[in-house]
Structure formats: C-alpha cells, structure tokens
Structure 1
Amino acid sequence: MTKPFAITLDVGSSLANHTGAWRQERPVYVDLTPPCAHACPAMEDPQKWLYAAEDGSYEQAWRTLVESNPFPAIMGRVCYHPCETACNRTFLDEAVGINAVERFLGDHAIEQGWTLPAPATTTGYHVLVVGAGPTGLSAAYQLRRLGHDVTVRDSSPKPGGMMRYGIPAYRLPRNVLDAEVARIIDLGITLELGRRVDDVLAAMAEGFDAVFLAVGAQLGKRAYVPAGEAARIVDAVSMLHDVAQGEPPLLGRRVVVYGGGNTAVDAARTAKRLGATDAVIVYRRTRDRMPAHDSEMAEALEEGVVVKWLSTVAHADAGHLRVERMELDESGFPQPTGEFEDLEADSLVLALGQESDLTLVDDVPDVALSDGSVQVDSSFMTGHPGIFAGGDVVPAQRTVTVGVGHGARAARAIDAWLRQSPVAEPTEAPIAEYASLNTWYYADAPHAVRPRLEAARRTSGFEEVVQGLDAETAAYEARRCMSCGNCFECDNCYGVCPDNAVIKLGPGMRFEIDYDYCKGCGICVAECPSGSILMVPEPR
C-alpha cells in the first residue's frame, strides 16, 4: 500500500526541513500597547512594573516605575487611575488594582530608603522651573536626569504646589509628600522657596537657557453671588490652602459649599473635620453630571456630607442662604424654576473653579493667552523661544497625573531645543484588544479591596482614609495583570506547537519561530493567553 506522500519524508530531508514553504500565513511575535499604558496621562507603562512586582521584585518594579513618574506614593493616593478604567481585565472580572500596587511600591521605597539614580553628566545648560507643584517637579526631575542644571522657584514656603495646598491630608499625608519631593531635590536641584517670579523675561535674563512655567491654578475663580454685607463667603482654594498651612478659617457649625467638582467635595469633607455639624454641597445639576469623582463623593456621603442636587445659591446673608431649585432642559443645562428654599448657614464656600496667576507673562507680547491659559505648541513651547509651559496653565485636564505627564514631555522638548535636535516622540504600537486574549487561561480573581477608616473615625481629624496593601496582597494584585499584547514566557506556544518550530531563547529572551518547520497552523496564536502572537500573510 502506498503511503501518503507527507509521511514518507525522512527526517532531515530537504522537504522535511522546509515545510514552511506550504504556508499561506505565518505567526509572528509582537509587542502591543497595553490599554493601561495608552490611557495613562503620566506616560507610565504599568504592565512593565507589574510584571516585576509579581514575584516580589519590588525594587526593580519601583525603579521601572520612577523612570516616568517620580511620585508613586503620591499618585497611588491621588490619581483617579484611568489605567484601571481601560484595563482589559474589567471584561473578565474586575480591573487590576494598578493604583494600589503603585502606592505600595511608593510606600515601600520610602520605608527602604531607596534613592533615585544619579543624573547624567552635566550638559552645562541651566533651566528655570517656575512652580514646585507636580508639573514643575516632574519637569525638574526629568531635566536633571538628562544632565541639565535646574533651579525651581516657588512663592510658597514649602514645595508641592496644589499637592500640598489643595489636596487635604486625609487623602495625601504630608510625610509621604515630603519624602518623595525631597528625593527629587536630592538629585542636585536648586529649590528656591518664598521667591515669586513676577517677570519671566527678567528671570530668564539672570542666565537661564530656558524657562518652564508650571505655576498651577491656585486662585479661586471669581464668581458673583448676591449677598448681604454680613454674609461670610470664602473661596474653597483659599480655605484648603489655609488649612494646609495650619491656619484653618472660622467657618462655623453650618457650612454650605457651592460647586460640584473635586475641590467642592474636599472643601465639604474638610469642613466636617474642622468641626462643622452640617456640611451641605449645593450643586446645579444631578449626580451623574457631577465632575467630582464617584469615589470621593461616596466617601463624602459616608461622612455625613449632604448634597442639594439641582440647586443654586440665589442670595447669601448672615446665618442663612436662599437656594433656588433648578431643572435640566433638553440639552442638560440647568434652568431656574422660581422655587426657593432657605438654608441655615454660618458660611458659604465657593468652589466654582480655579485659575492661574499669569501676571508673570504680562510683558511678553509673543506669549499668547486664551481663556486664562497659556497657548503652547505640541512641544509645550510658547510663542517666545525658550519659554515653555505645562500643567494647569495650559488647556488640559487639571490633575496631578496630567501634570506629571506634561512635565516629563516638556522636559524632553526642552532638552531637544537646548541641543538643537528634533524631539524624539515615542511611537505607539497598536493597542492590545480584549478580543485578542485567550482568557480561558486566566482564573477568576477579584481584585484586592483596600481597607478604609470607619466613617465615624474620619471626621475627628485628618488621618488618612484609604489604607494601602501589604506585600502579599500587592504581589497577588500584580499577578492579576494579563500582560495584554506582550509575551510573558508562559511556554504555551512552545508546548502546543505540533512541529516543534518554537525555539526557547532563555529566561527574559522569549522565543523565536523556526519557519523551516512551521506549517502556519495558527495553534500558537489561538493558545497564546496574552495575544502577543499574530498571523500575518506569508511574504512572497
């Protein structure tokens, strides 16, 4: 009986060694962009440091993390983790607790006394950074890493910007803030506190080669509220600033906060901690349209903060407010109804937005301003050569995470401008989609829940509300990462290949495919958990 042709070939014959010639498609290993990395405004790649943290290599994970973000302990507390919103694991069970692991790594680094690597050899260039908030310090850190001399000037007595003077201590303990800021300054950055920059051109003329404006948005937005002469009205930004300086204002027992953002929620929660029996937020829209983050609002409600939805302050006077009920029109815009209600209130706190003090560029005609923001190009440079700006002073979302990302990107641009070289913008590979993963290999593993202080204990002081993970739980959470779009050497492709065409290159080296033996069956692609192997047309 004649045997089928395919099995009459002797091993080692030329045809047996070149079965790949029959393929229509071939598998290739790829490195895709994890959705968490794509969503991070600070340009972190969480997948990289989560991979290191899985087996307890915490220092390696931390050092990978701080290449892009020098504030892991801070960001692990105040970032609203868009990375987790984008996480593919949400389609399986729950998002990986990226933010919680980030905080653990940051706290662990402080406990262990880990220091940042020494900067590169000095370039001889000197950059002035105006503002010691997250954007300015991020830029200073990256510029120093690149070898530039950096001076940071800030009008406040302590560094941190809105991280110190806008975020309450129950969300960001000051010892954590101080530790991560000091670690950056220790790289050799000159920090000049209590020194306001009123004229950026005059400052630049002192011998600086470039200036980066990162003054933040530390002014409460002015808004007209009809009020009697005896009404006590303060703005939320000033209130939080005074509390941070240890000089809390006298608000009384009944406090009304007007606004719907995170600052309004922080103001109301702070009022409770200052002794207010009643803290009421008056907001013109409904909760689903509130810009404040859900987690902050949920904690505020647990602490006894009350919200008057669909309401606006019509008049303020000593001891009481008049509030008008609103209703949303078809476009979602609030409209007055003519229905009023009186509230008892010892003080009214306005939290209607923030703006930057841009008087330092008043005499710079080629720095364009629009709607209270500095206009910059894609490299964060203003219309004046050598003057850059980022963070709250440019049109963007105002968060610590965005500020850190702006600082890092601006530092690269300043470095390129000083060296008269093009900005090396990183290219992003396609995003790893959930559909490309083989989730059969991932067991259901709900995320670790971070403990919180009981609501009854919170309002008695400024003790931190959200607690961190321990080492064991952090490692568990890191292992929940599915390594979307990137090989993690699980050996599946090596084990399932019927032709032994997958070659192991050694730990950390991944694999390669011997196309002389590969038939293009695609089993490796189908069985790859992370979607890091794709079938592509056979080249002809």
Structure 2
Amino acid sequence: MGDIMTPIPFDRIMERLLEEMEKEGSCYGVKKAYKADKNKFYTIFGRKLETQIGPAAGPHTQLAQNIIAGYYAGARFFELKTVQKMDGRELAACVAKPCITAEDECYNCEWSTELTVQEAFDEYIKGWFALKVISKEWDLGGSDGFQFNISVGYDLAGIKLPKVDNFINGMMDASETPIYKECKEYLEKNLSKFKKFTKADLDAITPDIVNSVTVSTLHGCPPQEIEAIASYLITEKGLNTFVKCNPTLLGYEVAREMLDSMGYDYIAFTDLHFKEDLQYSDAVPMLERLMALASSKNLEFGVKITNTFPVDVKNNELPSQEMYMSGKSLYPLSLLVARNLSRSFNGKLRIAYSGGCDYFNIDKVVGSGIWPVTVATTILKPGGYQRFIEMSEKLEKPEIKAWSGIDVEALEKLVSEVRSDKHHVKPVKPLPNRKSSKKVPYLDCYMAPCVNRCPINQDITTYGILVNEGKYEDALNVILEKNPLPFMTGHICTHTCQSACTRNHYEEDVQIRRNKLIAAQNAFEKVVPTLKSTDKKNLKVAVVGGGPAGIAAAFFLAREGVDVTVFDERDTMGGVVANIIPGFRIPADDIQRDVELAKACGAKFVTNKRIDDINALKAEGFDKVILAIGAHKELPLELEEGKAINALHFLEDFKKTEGKMDLGENVIVVGGGNTAMDVARAAKRVPGVKNVYLAYRRNARYMPADEEELNEAIEDGVEFVTLVSPKSFKGGKLVCAKNVLGEPDASGRRGVKETDELVELPCDTLIASIGESVRGDFYTSNGIEIDKKNLPVLNPVTLETNVKGVYAAGDGAKGASVIVKAIADSKRVCEAIVNHAIGELKISDTTDEKVYSYRGILEEVEEKKADNRCLACDYICENCTEVCPNRANVYVNVKGSHQIVHVDYMCNECGNCETFCPYASAPYKDKLTLFASEADMLDSENDGFVIVKGSKDVKVRIDGQNLVYRIGESNDKLNYRYAELIDTIYNEYEYLLL
C-alpha cells in the first residue's frame, strides 16, 4: 500500500515476539535487552519509572511494535505520537514523502500520526499489554516500571471533538473498549504459551493507561488558547499536564546568533514564527497560573522543552517549503529555553525535555533535574532503538532521589559549555557524500563503505580488527596486499575511506589511517625480512619517477618476480612526499621505510639520474616503461601587479632550509586546498613571521581542503580571509576584491561573484597554492599523444600510452591528486603488465555476536590509540533495519547468509532508510518487498512478492516481470536464490505474514 501503515493484530504481535525471541534472540530486530532493577525507580505523576528516558512523540511511538522495540532496549517513558482532529488518509494526503532526513541534525515535514485516532488508540493499548507481558516474561523490569504519556493537539475545539475526547477518556480508562477486551481475551486463552507471565500478572494489568498529557499546539497559537487547553485537561480531565514550549520563546536575534556561532549559519528561517508564537513575557505569567491551578487539583504541571523548530527548505532537503529541525542543532536552543525558564521559576518549574539528547549529554541533562527526557533523532540513526541501552545504563545511579527541582547552576554550566561542545558544533566543512554510486542489490547487500570508497579497495575492516587484537604483523601483511606505502598513507593519506565510514553516524569516523600506521610502525622490522618475490619472470621494467606512484609500481612488480628499476633525478626517493611535504606532516625516515619495503621484494632504485629519452631505456633492455613523473609545472596566480611565489617551490625551500627563511612579518597564502594548508602551517613556523593569512574566494565551508587539514591550520594560528579575490601585490599590501556567494550549482557548491568593493591586506610575502599541471613537453618529445590539459592519452583499462609498452601512472597521468590514487594507478598498470590481478581479498574474521555487541554503542575516540570502533560493515550492514522506526526492513537468515527484505505493510515511506543505506538507493523502494496482499502489490511499483493466503502459491515481480512461484518447487524464470529467500520466509519467518 505504499506509504499506508497497516496495524498488526495483537495476536500476530504476540506470536512474533515469542517466535522471534526463540529463533533469533531478538525483539523486532533489537538484539540486546535492557534489564532494569525492579527495586530502583523514580516517581512521577504518582507512578513508577525505571528509567527517565524514552521515545518522543514522533515516528517511534506511532505503532505498537515501535513501542515494544523501544521498551526492550531501555525506554520507559513513552510520549505517544500526537493525535488531532485531522487523521488517517486525510492527514496522510497532506504529508509530502519522504518526510524525514536525519543524516546529521534532523529535519521532518510532519510527525503527527497518519493513522486514524481510533487506530492510534488501538496501537497504544496493544503496546500497553505487550509491555506488561514481556516485562515479566523476559525479566526486563517491573510491570509497573514504565509510563505512557498522551500528546494531543492542536486546538481546544479539536480536542473536544468526540473522536479525540473518546481517545483521551479511553486512555484514562480503557476497560470497556473493544481493543482492551480483545488483548485481554487473547492472553487469557494463550497463557500456556508463556513461561513466567501468569494469570495473576494478567489480572494485575490495569486499564488506566495514562494519567498525564502533553499539550502540543501549532506555531502561532495564541497564549489564551494554550492556557484554555491546559486548563481544560487539568480541570475537566484531571490529567497531570505538560505544555510544549517552542524555541521561538528565545526571540529571533538570540536564536539566530546561537546557531550562527555554532556553525549553523546555513539554516534559514525568518522572524515570522518568533513574532506569531507565544512570547516569553506572556509565557511566564501563564505558566504561573497553570502551576497554581494544577496544584489546587493535586496534579503536577510542567513544560515540555521543546517542540521542533521551523526552518525553510533551501536545498531540496525535503519535498516541502518548510520543515522542522531537531537533533544536535536544536539542543543549544532547547537548553537556553530551559535555562531561561528555570531562572524565572527558581528551578521550581518541572521540565520534560526533548531537543538533541543522546548518549553524550543525557546524564548532564537528567543530572540537572530535567526529566523525563524523550529522544527521536539519535534513534533515527544507525543503532536505532539499541541506543537506548547505553543511555539507560549511563543513568543508573546507586541512589534514587525524588525530584526536588532544577539545578539552575548545573543548567547554566551546560549552556556555557554547549557553544564549544564538539558533539553539537557543526564542522566547518559540509558532510561528505557517503553513498556509493552503485544501486543496492536484492541479495548480499552488506558493504563496507570505507572499502568501496578507497581507490585501492583495501581490506580496511580486516586489518583494523587485527590491529586491535595486537596482531600487527598479520595486519601489515593484509595492508601490503594492496597498499605498498603504509607509512606514507598512514601519515598523510586523505583517507576518503574515513569520510564514508558508517561510524560517522555514531560520533566520528573510525581512525583508519591511524590503525594503518600503528600496524606499520609495530610490524615493519619483522615483516621486511619475510617479503619476497614470486617466481622470477623474464621481464624487465623501468619506472621513471621515484614518487608514490613509482615506488608502488616497483613494489608490486618486484613482488610478482619482475626485474624492476626506478629512476629519479633527485638524490632522495619519495617525490613530493620526501622533497615538498613538511616534516611536521611525515618523518623522513618513515618515507624511506616504504622504499625499503619495495627493496625487500627485489626492486632497485637509482637516484640522481634524469630520464628524458624513453628509447634510451629500451636500448638498455627494458621491456616496459612506466612513467610516474608527477605534476610539477606551476599554475601562476594572475595579478594586475606583483608576483606570487609558487607553493611547491616555497615548501621545497622550507624543507631544504629547515624553515630558516626571510618572509617578513605578514604572509598571505592564496588557495584553499590541502597544499595551501601545508604552506600556511609551514609559514607559521618561519622565524620572524607574525601573521599568516589564508585568502580564499569562497568561505571556509567550500574550501577543497579536508576538514582535518583545515582544523590543523586553525590550531596553528592561521587566519582565514574568505570571500576575496587577489588583484595586485605591491608596497607590502595585497589588494583584493570582495566576493559574494551566488546560488548553489547541481553539486550544492555555491558560485562566486566579485564586487566593486576592495580590501587591503598587509603582505610581505605572497604564496600561491592554486594547483599544478603536467609537463606536456616530456610526453610529446617521446612521441606520446597528449590532450588539451597536457595529460597523456591513455587506454582507460591498462593506462598504456599510444607508444606500445609505455604506461603512465599517478599525478603525471591524470593530474595532481592524492597518494592512494597514485597507488591505484600503479596497481592497474602492474596488473596489465603481469596480466593478472594483484592483491588477494582478506575477509574480516568476526562473528554475528561480536558485530551485534557494539551496534548502537557510542564512544568517545581515544587519541593516539588503535581505534576499535569498527562496525565490520563488510560482514554485516543492516543500517536500514536499525534506522526504520516501524521495523519495516527486516533481517532474514537464509542458509547462514544475512538478507534484507522490505515489509510493505509496516512502512509509511518516511525515507529515513535511504539516508543511511551506503548505496545510491532507498531500501524502502529498492529492496525486494514482502507484500501482505495482492492488492498491496498492485498498488506498489516495488519488485517483490506476496504469498497467497492459504496456499503455497507466490506471486512474484522481478525487474518488472510477473510470474507465479510455488513454495519448494523450481521455476526456470526465478533465480534459485530468490526462491530460497521466499521459501525461508514461508517456512521460518511465518510471523512476517499478515
């Protein structure tokens, strides 16, 4: 049915719980359980609460299975999804899909329930009964250790309508409702299926589901209306009441300044909602009156901080004009609202909280007296509901104290710290694209994004695991299969693998480069003597250029038994890395260790010999020649007056003189790439230099430099002067035109336009770092065809030039790039020369149990140590199963292999799984789909299948082709592995079938 969720009957819910636990040891896909101490609990609204946390009124409290999954993982306070007069199909038709994107901070179009009010009621009652059962059956805690809290909106007239009024009354006393009776009757008839849940436990289940409510109002709701709703719920319904407050209470200027100062200046919003929403001056007296009213009725009153924050859609984040922000960027705003109200009420106003809490801050927020805390964004990320366990464990205290107010001083401290909190400050650079360009396959879709992104597809997870086990020699041998430069790449690789790492969605990427260097440093001495070549080949190859590409080619060929010699015009091998890159980036000895690895395999190196004539090499008996000459031709900075020093020339002089240069007091570096950062950092180390400025035509967000390189420059004291274009350099001044950013292009990068406004910068030395090009004359003099960029025209597979037996690799072949791409080129050339693949695949040695043990666990990264946070994505991915609030993507064990199936009837097409799938795909559309009925299948465009009720017939749609398959029988038109998957679901996962 596409985006229409189908509620699961209570009997099917219970049957799945029991069957899945017996077969998989999991609960709706959640692998680990949180077991509360029944003797330790908090009290709120006169009821027990084992942990102070749970899911917010959003996607995680819309269906019974969501509530169950949350409870199993440690949630105990459930703010049920808001109900209103508009519901069901009418509301669903108004919600643009996809409606959620939670890659970093989170945005949504709409989080109100898309079920009817009656359907929502039924889901909550089913969830209530299920939690009562599993709390006892699986020893998860006391059967009275959790609470439901209803959320209603959005105006008093709507709340008084019969369907919403019946909802409220039914949640207060469900005893006479059909669903309550149905659930109780099922349990009475099936008590024999349970081992610990008894008749006495069933009889103890009470129908008073809730005694508290959270008031949710739309932006612009007048204070009189908010007060009227709360007063009605307190006086007429006798409910303990929270009123949701919006971040707009801060005022536009405060909110704008806070977000801008923390790197969220790109988030667009106007002052509209700030003017129309409840004003702080009106909020305080209103809340005082409501506190007094609730107290007179012996009820508790408080505020819920905060509602989501409305912002403009500017970059097609979601298919709407406005969206609601939550998560890490909402946290500072929510804290500020909490601080302000706590000041005004001297800590006596109770505050429930939702606004960017996660493992890293939950103890601080709760420790200040703010609870219950509900979350959404953190459990929309990989790990999903499983993240509740770690938060719950962090909140375990030896002493449980009753709530006595807000610790205003502790809250003040939190507010002061948040502006520099690395978990909430936005990185300077935008998030990299972490998706592959490939479409997700129907089967075997687990993939390590780091391996996929690496140009040489190193077995990253494999050597990472070995490093953490202290098996350094094994780890280095795995690395050397595909990467002969572990020291160079261990120090200065741009590690695009880390940009793609799934761990980025937890806290930060696994320090893959560091793990490589640790392996190299610890195993080099022992591994070198073991290196050798394979059977000698009657083949002699010359490599021109001793940079990374040349050394890599030498290693690969020598190990394959080829007689290989590297020639370089300098007296030191290593090319740019040895002669240009500053020593504070990589020690000279480590560069030569990479050369030693190639020598150990039998490669020969000749220094101080310039090669201009390829034919002379052939005359010396070389059968093949690899050109790895680099890109050293400078690109000049065009100025109306004056001249800049070339970046590579400067870095070479800096290295030769050990920084003893005369640059004056003020140095300006023009550029924004990694080389520019090296230049600026080197200039800061030159005696006499007081100021180093880095001038760039866009702002820092659009600099091509890596985030790490940029931050290191900032730490070294380099000052950024952005949105400027240099015009002339004379008399100790650099004159620049000021620029403004234009509209984003298709990639999201904004254009730049010069203005007529000029700015003067003090400048004694000007250095240009705007790129390098290739010496085309070297190629043409040797009869090699070149293109318009002076690059050789190459066979796209072998990288052979038009001159037979002559190949090109590295910067000189494709333009200035990075070390690992030079290695990739060399590997491809060497494979062409020896006529077979180089480097064996080394699969991770791990288990399901190990992988699942650290899913959903966030950790602080330990500096300088081996990083053990790898999720082994090459073994198990399952991001899509974890991030789906409704559990609509499921893992199925097919003969020992992990396969993912999308369950149509559980899905409302929120789109969250698309964000976190490592492929360029959306699992809810692109994985094989299990349909509940033939009508649902006809209503969808997904490939998938439906098992016809009461039979073994299966209707299948694959690649647009329809066919009929019968369980257990062969079918020439259906791939046997698809048949195995369908058979497995029919025979072993019957609980997935409605």
Please tell me the TM-score bracket, short chain as reference. Answer: 0.7 to 0.9
Mark the CA change 1:204 to 1:358 in structure 2 (over 3 Å): closer, same or farther: farther
Partner of 1:158: 572
Partner of 1:283: 696
**SS of the residue 1:393 aligns to:** helix
Partner of 1:38: 452
Partner of 1:139: 553
Aligned-partner Cα distance in 2 for 1:33–1:311: 42
Q: Could you tell me whether the CA contact under 8 Å between 1:159 and 1:193 is conserved in 2?
A: yes
Aligned-partner Cα distance in 2 for 1:398–1:73: 18
Partner of 2:714: 301
Aligned-partner Cα distance in 1 for 2:837–2:597: 27
Q: Which moved more, 1:365-374 or 1:53-62?
A: 365-374
**SS of the residue 1:144 aligns to:** helix
Q: Could you tell me whether the CA contact under 8 Å between 1:258 and 1:352 is conserved in 2?
A: yes
Mark the CA change 1:340 to 1:521 in structure 2 (over 3 Å): closer, same or farther: closer
Deviation per CA, 1:239-264, whole angstroms, max 9, x where unpaired? 11122223654322211111111111
Q: Could you tell me whether the CA contact under 8 Å between 1:116 and 1:187 is conserved in 2?
A: no
Q: Which moved more, 1:262-271 or 1:199-208?
A: 199-208
**SS of the residue 2:565 aligns to:** strand
Q: Which of 591, 612, 632 matches 1:218?
A: 632
Q: Could you tell me whether the CA contact under 8 Å between 1:438 and 1:526 is conserved in 2?
A: no
Counterparts of 1:34-433 in structure 2 under 5 Å? 34-110=448-524, 114-115=528-529, 117-228=531-642, 233-246=644-657, 248=659, 249-275=661-687, 276-330=689-743, 331=745, 332-377=750-795, 378-395=797-814, 398-416=817-835, 423-424=836-837
Aligned AA (2:789) = D
Counterparts of 1:440-479 in structure 2 under 5 Å? 442=855, 444-446=857-859, 448-450=861-863, 468-469=864-865, 474=866, 477-478=867-868
Unaligned 5+ runs, structure 1: 1-28, 417-422, 429-436, 451-467, 489-519, 529-533
Indicate yes or no: 2:957 matched with 1:538: no
Aligned AA (2:653) = D
Aligned AA (1:347) = T
Q: Could you tell me whether the CA contact under 8 Å between 1:71 and 1:106 is conserved in 2?
A: no
Deviation per CA, 1:167-225, whole angstroms, max 9, x where unpaired? 21111111211222223224332211111111223333322111111111123212322
Q: Could you tell me whether the CA contact under 8 Å between 1:44 and 1:68 is conserved in 2?
A: yes
**SS of the residue 1:137 aligns to:** helix
Partner of 2:354: none
Shift of 1:328: 2.4
Q: With CA pairs under 8 Å and 6+ residues apart, which has the higher RCO, 1 or 2?
A: 1
Mark the CA change 1:213 to 1:366 in structure 2 (over 3 Å): closer, same or farther: closer
Deviation per CA, 1:495-540, whole angstroms, max 9, x where unpaired? xxxxxxxxxxxxxxxxxxxxxxxxx986966799xxxxx9742399
Aligned-partner Cα distance in 2 for 1:526–1:120: 37
Q: Could you tell me whether the CA contact under 8 Å between 1:131 and 1:214 is conserved in 2?
A: yes
Q: Which moved more, 1:98-107 or 1:192-201?
A: 192-201
Shift of 1:365: 3.5
Aligned-partner Cα distance in 2 for 1:139–1:43: 17
The percent of aligned pairs where both chains have the same amino acid is 29
Aligned-partner Cα distance in 2 for 1:242–1:319: 22
Aligned-partner Cα distance in 1 for 2:854–2:621: 60
Q: Could you tell me whether the CA contact under 8 Å between 2:531 and 2:600 is conserved in 1?
A: no
TM-score by length of 2: 0.41
Unaligned 5+ runs, structure 2: 1-442, 842-849, 878-891, 901-927, 929-976, 984-994
**SS of the residue 2:470 aligns to:** coil
Q: Which of 445, 468, 481 matches 2:870?
A: 481
Aligned-partner Cα distance in 2 for 1:281–1:304: 11
Aligned-partner Cα distance in 2 for 1:374–1:43: 25
Aligned-partner Cα distance in 1 for 2:784–2:791: 14
- Give the superposed CA RMSD: 3.1
Shift of 1:447: 5.4
Q: Could you tell me whether the CA contact under 8 Å between 1:321 and 1:342 is conserved in 2?
A: yes
Q: Which moved more, 1:385-394 or 1:184-193?
A: 184-193
Deviation per CA, 1:374-396, whole angstroms, max 9, x where unpaired? 22121111111111011112236
Q: Could you tell me whether the CA contact under 8 Å between 1:73 and 1:104 is conserved in 2?
A: no
Deviation per CA, 1:326-356, whole angstroms, max 9, x where unpaired? 1223353322211112222111111110122
Aligned-partner Cα distance in 1 for 2:553–2:609: 19
Shift of 1:113: 6.7
Q: Which moved more, 1:122-131 or 1:42-51?
A: 42-51
Aligned length: 437
**SS of the residue 1:271 aligns to:** helix
Aligned AA (1:318) = G
Larger radius of gyration: 2
Q: Which moved more, 1:76-85 or 1:87-96?
A: 87-96
Mark the CA change 1:212 to 1:124 in structure 2 (over 3 Å): closer, same or farther: same
Partner of 2:114: none
**SS of the residue 1:369 aligns to:** coil
Aligned-partner Cα distance in 2 for 1:169–1:325: 35
Mark the CA change 1:307 to 1:118 in structure 2 (over 3 Å): closer, same or farther: same
Aligned AA (2:523) = A
Aligned-partner Cα distance in 1 for 2:757–2:507: 46
Aligned AA (1:486) = Y
Aligned AA (1:538) = E
Q: Which moved more, 1:131-140 or 1:199-208?
A: 199-208
Mark the CA change 1:190 to 1:163 in structure 2 (over 3 Å): closer, same or farther: same
Q: Could you tell me whether the CA contact under 8 Å between 2:669 and 2:692 is conserved in 1?
A: yes
Mark the CA change 1:440 to 1:197 in structure 2 (over 3 Å): closer, same or farther: same
Q: Which moved more, 1:330-339 or 1:234-243?
A: 330-339
**SS of the residue 1:90 aligns to:** helix
Aligned AA (1:340) = L
**SS of the residue 2:482 aligns to:** coil
Shift of 1:110: 3.6
Mark the CA change 1:177 to 1:483 in structure 2 (over 3 Å): closer, same or farther: same
Aligned-partner Cα distance in 1 for 2:557–2:898: 45
Q: Could you tell me whether the CA contact under 8 Å between 2:665 and 2:690 is conserved in 1?
A: yes
Shift of 1:360: 2.5
Mark the CA change 1:31 to 1:77 in structure 2 (over 3 Å): closer, same or farther: same
Mark the CA change 1:30 to 1:341 in structure 2 (over 3 Å): closer, same or farther: closer
